[in-house]
Structure 1
Amino acid sequence: MDEALLRSLTPSVLALLVRRGADFAAAEDAVQDALVEAVRVWPADPPRDPKGWLVTVAWRKFLDQSRADTARRRREDRAGEEPAPGPTPAVDDTLRLYFLCAHPSLTPSSAVALTLRAVGGLTTRQIARAYLVPEATMAQRISRAKRTVSGVRFDRPGDVATVLRVLYLVFNEGYSGDVDLAAEAIRLTRQLAAGIDHPEVAGLLALMLLHHARRAGRTAPDGSLVPLAEQDRGRWDTRLIAEGVAILQAALARDRLGEFQAQAAIAALHADAPTAEETDWVQIVEWYDELLRLTGNPVVRLNRAVAVGEADGPRAGLAALAELDGSLPRHTAVAAYLHERDGDLEAAARLYAEAAHHAANLAERDHLTRQAARLNARRRH
């Protein structure tokens, strides 16, 4: 049984049922039933047209379900006769599914879960393990999301920006449980890029590839975090870097700059530097200025302060940091780093310890605690 094939076919089959008149919840149930049937039947009798087989079986499951429920007679009448099996165009339907799963009425967490289930073809159990929540909790979240989008009509174009934000949320979850969400996000974004000609879709794909290329260097053998400047660049994936840069250059050439393209440009400058010392920080600051113009995001201002500290010296970085809200995530950690660069080890050690206390996860807390201990040891000697 080719699980990857089933997962790749799931979104187009589901979207086709929705377009033919099934509401989302009923269509998703029917597709899941068809997938179960495929697992049972295909090993002994593989179909010549897997997608056509799934469409036919899922549609029959949907009609059977509709006929069994008198409250759904109106939808059954709208559904009409069963279509002949066979290959059908999938791109437009799949894109509709992306937009449906990123509907603005859904919370970000629900949109992510529904995207992984409907577009990614993951099971509820896999998604629950990836998010470290009980399966029943995730099932309820997905069920609520399905009910929310059932009956939604697509009488205007979907919001590409919302779809991209959902995919980026998936990517940033990284890896946990038995599902590599970063790799899954890249797969889904590749699929989206194949179906829609949009420079920001290309920008997000480039950004993901450039970040993913550095993954092997981000952690030490003991699982501890390795800062960018200390990473072994020989462990970076040069193939992914080259692909990401090529995709980015093609997107930038269209002269429709967006935030994901700007972020990818910054990531490309980091990836392009043979050593940390050779990083073009002046150009990175310029790209952060573009990103600020596009978003006004305070987190971007925080990252820009770090870049200014590298390009113009730690005092300039601290001056930029002083203009920002001290409650921003990572503000204290950035202050610690810039104070260390400026030679104030006492303040830096204190700030690292304070930042560790407010760290978002265990790995980050351990890293910041080690930084504080390192500086305190230096001060004693």
Structure 2
Amino acid sequence: MLKSLRDFWNAPTFADEESTRLARLIHLFTLVTGGGSLLGFLILLVGQPDNPNLGGLIGTFLLLVVVARITLHWGWVPVAGWLLTLNVWVVITLSIWLASSLDTPAFNAYFFVVILASLLIGRRIAAIGVAIVSSLVILMMSSRLGLLTTPTGLSWIVWTVILLLVTAVILYLAMGDLHRALAIIRVRNEELADTRMVLEARVKERTGELGLAADIGRTITQIRDLDLLLAESVRLIREYFNLYHVQIYLVDKSARTLELQVGTGEIGAELRRQGHRLPIGSGSINGTCAADKRAVVVEDTRSSVIFRPNPLLPDTRSQMSVPLLIGVQLLGVLNLQSKHVNELNPDNANVFEVLAGQLAVAMQNAQLFTESAEARRS
């Protein structure tokens, strides 16, 4: 119960930012107009305790303000805006009629309805404008017919002061909301600018990587000896992309095992001497890559369930394996390792897939060249 009461006196929030903004405005306006009405009621109650219409008028207004707040907390934000605007319009019109005179500050308060409607209703302000004009015409005709007279001095002064105060507060709140909206826009623009810079940097990085891949591709396609081609490929890839280790596995004749054919540096030579082999399947990164014929990326080896650490390569922190394919035929796997987490990631996987495609074609061409040379010798 207490929580419901506390929520009633707070502005509700919604998933839609615009609805939240309007709800906050309506919440503030109901507090300001309701408080202003109570203040005017207390002042006039002391100055004009015998006024029979005052209590009913303000009571009606406060009741409609409460209805607007209830509607707002039900989530009917546009309806609450209409109720609050129409409430103010009705009270102003009744005030003029009950005062029996156009010479009253309430008559000048119609512009406040226009401000309120423009803030809460927006483009539908035309309907409010028509209602206001109609009210003015009716009241002016009534004045000409002698149905309205001059108000008392105290009532005129009190309502003028209350009107000015409420209008000033409403404008202050509206400007505050506008400044908040502008601040949000500035933040969003800064976020967009940051995002654009990040994207531009990524595009520049990917373009550079594709350029490196193209350079490597042009170099390796000129090599006709398969062993030399593979050794030169891992060396160039490691140097161009500043990687920790690069190696190439080839599929054996049984098509069930990957055999390490070449690796960079002394570590690669040692693994080659050990006859390093891996089964094709889900037991490792390279095996999974070969089995699924798709790139496998491990951005952080410490959190990977398929990463198998190698004591000769203790500093591997991210790893990628890319299949070497000619159509659907698997030739082997290109394995890349980095010392840095997330350096090998899905964003740059396409670069290495392009490079692996070029390497696979170069391997096929080298094999065909070797077979052709052997055929000529025989």
When normalised by structure 2's length, the TM-score is 0.22
Q: Would you tell me which structure has more strand in proportion to its own residues?
A: 2
Name the larger-Rg structure: 2
Q: Would you tell me which structure has more helix in proportion to its own residues?
A: 1
Structure with greater contact order relative to length (CA < 8 Å, sep ≥ 6): 2
